[in-house]
Amino acid sequence: MNKIAFIFLVSLMVSCGDSNEKQKVVEKQVNLVSQDSTGFIMAFYYNDSIKTGFEYYRKAEASLTAKQASYQSQIQSKTQKYQNYVTKKQKDIQAGLLSENEMMKVQQKAGEMEQEIVQYQQREGAKLEGDMLKKLEEINKKLEAFGKMFSEKHGIDILMGYSSGQQINYIHPKMNVSGSFIDFLNSEQKKLEEDL
């Protein structure tokens, strides 16, 4: 709530600046921003641009999607194996091929197979969720660190991520630095990867 109030106050201060607003030119590929008489500069990037333009994010998402598909495939395989076993043994029971002792063993094995599926779902589902949260945390840390570097490089006081439905109802397009920020993210990530 305090962040929203702060952003509102900052927006109000920027909009109440005198009519002699100065535009600071940094680099031609970076659209600047909003600057009032105090030199305060704000910019934003679309949050969706991170998902579509930041290569590290896209690779992480592809990796998690592959893990999710493998997880679903394993569940489906185990479930199909269980169903096939139960169906086959039901036919054997109906045909009178199994003794009471054998039927009890079939029930026990079916219960074990079912339990194995549940345990797999819980164990691997929790692991997958943990991997996803860890990867999102890594991405957020990168965005924070690279966002700071980008802002310092271009003299930006506040760099905001924006998406529709947030408390901010309108931001002038000239404050949009999405393309430049995405290029910067990819460039800095590439430098990190080359140093590994």
The answer to whether the beta carbons of residues 43 and 159 sit under 8 Å apart is yes
pLDDT given for residue 166 in this prediction: 79
User: How much is the pTM?
Assistant: 0.70
User: What pairing do the DSSP bridges indicate for beta strands 34-35 and 41-46?
Assistant: antiparallel
pLDDT given for residue 172 in this prediction: 80
Q: Residue 146, Cβ neighbours under 10 Å: how many?
A: 20
pLDDT given for residue 165 in this prediction: 81
pLDDT given for residue 66 in this prediction: 97
pLDDT given for residue 29 in this prediction: 52
pLDDT given for residue 87 in this prediction: 97
Helix, strand, or coil (residue 99): coil
pLDDT given for residue 32 in this prediction: 58
SS3 content of the chain, % helix, strand, coil (to 5): 70, 5, 25
> Between the CA of residue 42 and those of 45, 65, 114, 135, 170, what are the distances in Å?
11, 35, 57, 28, 14
**What are the pLDDT tens digits along the chain (196 aa)?**
334 333 333 343 334 444 444 444 334 456 555 556 677 888 999 999 999 999 999 999 999 999 999 999 999 999 999 999 999 999 999 999 999 999 999 999 999 999 999 999 999 999 999 999 999 999 999 999 999 999 999 989 999 999 888 777 778 888 889 999 999 999 999 999 998 8
